[in-house]
Amino acid sequence: MAHIKTLQELFRRYRRPGDIVFAVLFLAFALFLLWKLPGETVWAKRTKWFAQPRFWPAVAVGGMVLFASLHFIGSLCSKRIPGRWREVGFWLVSLEYVLYFLIYVVLVPQIGYLPATLLFTIFLTVRVGEATPLNLVAAGVFSIAVVVIFRAFLQVKIPAGHIYEALPDGIRAFALTYL
């Protein structure tokens, strides 16, 4: 005969440190998106329900809320393991690199794409502890390659640096276009 599982048995799973914190944050984010959905999308008159502008976002966010809720229930039903706040601390330390990227994004319009990319890649090479001469040269070559590919070949419109305005006319035109 089939064994009927209890709710705890059904949702029990292997946990990792910080799992409950992630489950709470993810469920809160999913509920926030569900709360904002009516203001961000519309229900159009005389349109089939599956072609509604709100339908597919509602399906996606509804699925997100459903699975975030199941994850949260599973976290509540599972055995606690130590190290939750140590894991959360590790997540917060990782935000350091998000801060570096935001600084890079602010610097690009100020000093230009090439100088900002050179500074960013060389700084990150030093920051991760790989500052050998070969790696620093590789970071510089990588930066130049990225700038040439994005600006010259792909012609991606990236704001030119204000610092380029101080260059002589001939060099300024080249820098504004390709650097």
Task: Render pLDDT for 120-175 as a digit per residue (tens, 0 to 9).
Answer: 999 999 999 999 999 999 999 999 999 889 887 888 888 777 777 777 777 777 77
Count of C-beta atoms within a 10 Å radius of residue 50 = 8
Longest dimension (CA), the chain: 86
Q: Residues of the chain with pLDDT > 70: what percent?
A: 90
46/115 Cα distance (integer angstroms): 54
Check residue 5 and give its pLDDT.
Answer: 67
In the prediction, which pLDDT does 142 show?
Answer: 96
Q: Residue 63: is its pLDDT beyond 90?
A: yes
Strand extents, DSSP E, the chain: none
Mean pLDDT lowest for which of 72-76, 92-96, 157-161? 157-161
Confidence of residue 45 (pLDDT cuts 50, 70, 90): confident
Of 51 and 12, the structure prediction assigns the larger pLDDT to: 51
Kindly tell me if the per-residue pLDDT of 26 is higher than 80: yes
Residue 23: both structure tokens together = 């489950």
pLDDT for the residue 12: 62
Q: pLDDT value at position 14?
A: 66
